């Protein structure tokens, strides 16, 4: 499909100056959301993540077991939305969280660089799903975006989405820190949505620039504009560099201000995090918590 032509139906991205001004405004507004209630919601929106070269069956089992036990140990706090791991650990997590509502997210499709054959990407996604993944996080091909090969980048997303059952969630990572400009971040977000993404996600967390509020604003404006044209709601996920409770509240506020409270559900808002989990728990409990 010719996706690039669809971009002409949308206004250009906001200027960097306008984005910066909006971020400054939202930073101030976000102070109202430094509350236990917001922190609890942000915790419940976490895709609890371990994506390390040190991951092993033993370490991932222990990680998932602690997440499963959280339901009993902290019954007054809604648990994280999912556990996010490499594809080879999907079955491991499934065994550890069996009998709980925990969802399983797998990165796939040549994560984190997406620099492999489409057939390999599709097979890896299929294997993760076969092993029990409920949600798949893939990376939009950044090299193709930077060289203007938009149709090719989006067509890969379409091909992978077409291989997944409708009830499975596809999150597309645009690697905003590599795209850098509001124009490219907006195009990548729109192209991902045209191609069937259920979420657009900021970052892999594997390059020096991860999630930024500037990228979040640009992406959420694109989600809003897409919704106004199509009526289809696409979610937003901030990942990489979200560490403190205040960081989480800032992204919550970006979504609240640009997309509205109806987007503040775990079906439409996620935070990809590891260290943020303990920091949010500490803010909620009013004392230092090192659960993970």
Residue 31 appears among annotated catalytic residues: no
> What are the pLDDT digits (tens) for 138-181?
999 999 999 999 999 999 999 999 989 999 999 999 999 999 99
Closest CA to 31 of 257, 217, 291, 195: 257
CA atoms of 3 and 197, how far apart (whole Å): 13
Indicate the pLDDT class of residue 275, thresholds 50, 70 and 90: confident
The pTM of this model reads: 0.97
Burial 90-119 (b: 16+ CB within 10 A, else e): bbbbbebbeeeebbbbbbbbbbbebeeebe
Which one is catalytic: 47, 137, 198, 247? 137
Percent of the chain with pLDDT over 70: 100
Which one is catalytic: 47, 171, 237, 247? 237
> What are the pLDDT digits (tens) for 46-91?
999 999 999 999 999 999 999 999 999 999 999 999 999 999 999 9
Which one is catalytic: 47, 198, 201, 247? 201
DSSP string, 216-257: HHHHHHHHHHHHHHH----EEEEESS--SHHHHHHHHHHHHH
Residue 134 appears among annotated catalytic residues: no
Residue 40 appears among annotated catalytic residues: no
CA–CA distance from 122 to each of 168, 188, 267, 268 (Å)?
14, 20, 24, 24
């Amino acid at each position: 499909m010719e996706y690039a032509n669809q971009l002409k139906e949308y206004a250009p991205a906001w200027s960097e100056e306008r984005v910066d001004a909006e971020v400054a405004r939202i930073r101030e507004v976000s102070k109202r959301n430094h509350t236990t209630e917001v922190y609890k919601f942000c915790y419940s929106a976490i895709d609890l993540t371990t994506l390390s070269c040190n991951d092993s069956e033993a370490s991932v089992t222990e990680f998932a077991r602690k997440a499963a036990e959280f339901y009993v140990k902290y019954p007054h706090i809604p648990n994280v939305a999912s556990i996010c791991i490499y594809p080879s650990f999907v079955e491991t997590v499934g065994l550890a969280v069996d009998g709980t509502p925990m969802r399983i997210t797998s990165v796939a499709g040549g994560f984190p660089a997406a620099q492999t054959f489409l057939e390999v990407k599709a097979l890896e996604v299929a294997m993760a799903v076969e092993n029990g993944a409920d949600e798949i996080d893939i990376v939009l091909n950044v090299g193709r975006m930077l060289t203007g090969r938009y149709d090719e980048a989006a067509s890969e997303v379409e091909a992978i989405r077409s291989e997944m059952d409708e009830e499975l969630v596809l999150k597309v990572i645009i690697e905003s820190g590599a795209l850098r400009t509001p124009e490219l971040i907006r195009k990548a977000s729109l192209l991902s949505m045209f191609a069937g993404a259920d979420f657009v996600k900021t970052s892999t967390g594997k390059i020096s620039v991860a999630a930024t509020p500037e990228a979040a604003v640009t992406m959420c404006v694109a989600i809003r504009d897409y919704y106004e044209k199509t009526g289809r709601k696409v979610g937003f996920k901030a990942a990489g560099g979200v560490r403190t409770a205040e960081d989480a509240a800032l992204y919550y506020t970006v979504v609240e201000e640009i997309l509205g409270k109806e987007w503040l559900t775990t079906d439409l808002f996620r935070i990809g995090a590891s260290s943020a989990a303990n920091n949010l728990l500490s803010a909620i409990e009013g004392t230092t918590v090192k659960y993970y």
